[in-house]
Amino acid sequence: MSIQAASKVVTESQNLPPTDSRERVKQFVQKLQDDICAGLEQLDGKASFREDSWQREEGGGGRSRVIRDGRVFEQGGVNFSEVWGDTLPPAILVQRPEAAGHGFYATGTSMVLHPRNPYVPTVHLNYRYFEAGPVWWFGGGVDLTPYYPFTEDAVHFHQTIKQACDAHHSEYYPAFKRWCDEYFYLKHRQEARGIGGIFFDYQDGNSPLYFGPNPNSSAAEYSNKVGKVARNWEELFAFIQSCGNSFLPAYVPIVERRQNTEYGERERNFQLYRRGRYVEFNLVYDRGTIFGLQTNGRTESILMSLPPLVRWEYCYQAEPGTPEAKLTEVFLKPQDWINYQG
């Protein structure tokens, strides 16, 4: 064997996941589901999660937990899934063609919460892990979608996430925050879904920080400026754990501040109107929805992210100077929330 070939073998072996990788990630995302559900039930104080276990005919299954008609949460779900099969769906193979021809394994937890009070923001979380032959990667993120936003809430949410990222690499938050602003964007509306958070995908030992479809985006430019960031499986797994465990500290204080704010029909109607944007994004763009449907996942679990009530209004325009107008004019524009002075 030549020196070059031997070096390649060593490098590839260093980038392989540990033999117990699947079980370790599975146990973590299951515990994250348990911890989040326990924290949310305590926060709501009225409703409890209903659990439905399901099996996938092609391999795998999961447990879906839904909370409804609570004091705080009108509806929400926190899901765990673990699936495997002969081939990854086309939507993923476009980005990772080297995974073609290999069986795959995927596990993760995903969550969407739709609070009752319009002053409490909707929130989304997803952390996942894939293996396909020698190919593996982590992905996920968390983001906030307020209806009547507050600067202190946006700052707190982003600061908490940044602290979790900074514990592992100082470039994670600025790169993944930019990617989040790019990803949670409704192109047909030319409008962001919310105030962002972090988003990342296809993170392995060799990937750039940004591995998205737009080479000219702000996230891509930032990632190119940073250059290669050497990581291994253990370091990325530790990063995912920190991100997941930061959710309750990031979200619960916001709910506690806003849950008793008085509201009327105007605020409720605006909340239902803005939920329509959430539905549009999840049905048109969301990768988790697309992956679940393309792999024959449980439809009820995939679509648990949709709100129980929603409305659309033809050619709606918020009155100038109102809180409703401020949402789109200020909060749905990409902002440096860590240093925001508005």
User: Which residue bears the tokens 């409890």?
Assistant: 48
Write down the mean pLDDT value for the chain: 92
Residues acting as catalytic residues: 124
Q: Facing residues of 78 across strands?
A: 65, 111
Dihedral of CA atoms 180, 96, 243, 128 in degrees, nearest 10, equals: 120
Enter the tokens of residue 155.
């700052």
**Orientation angle between helical segments 247-258 and 151-166, nearest 10 degrees:** 170
For residue 10, name the pLDDT band (cuts at 50, 70, 90): very low
SS3 171: coil
For residue 290, name the pLDDT band (cuts at 50, 70, 90): confident
Enter the tokens of residue 299.
């439809």
Q: What is the pLDDT averaged over residues 56-63?
A: 91
Enter the tokens of residue 52.
């439905």
Q: What is the pLDDT averaged over residues 63-87?
A: 95
Q: Which residue has the higher pLDDT, 14 or 290?
A: 290
For residue 182, name the pLDDT band (cuts at 50, 70, 90): very high
For residue 300, name the pLDDT band (cuts at 50, 70, 90): confident
| Rounded alpha-carbon distances, angstroms, from residue 101 to 43, 133, 206, 287 | 46, 9, 21, 21
Q: Is pLDDT above 50 for 224?
A: yes
Contact 112, 78 (CB under 8 A): no
Name 264's Cβ contacts closer than 8 Å, sequence gap at least 6. none
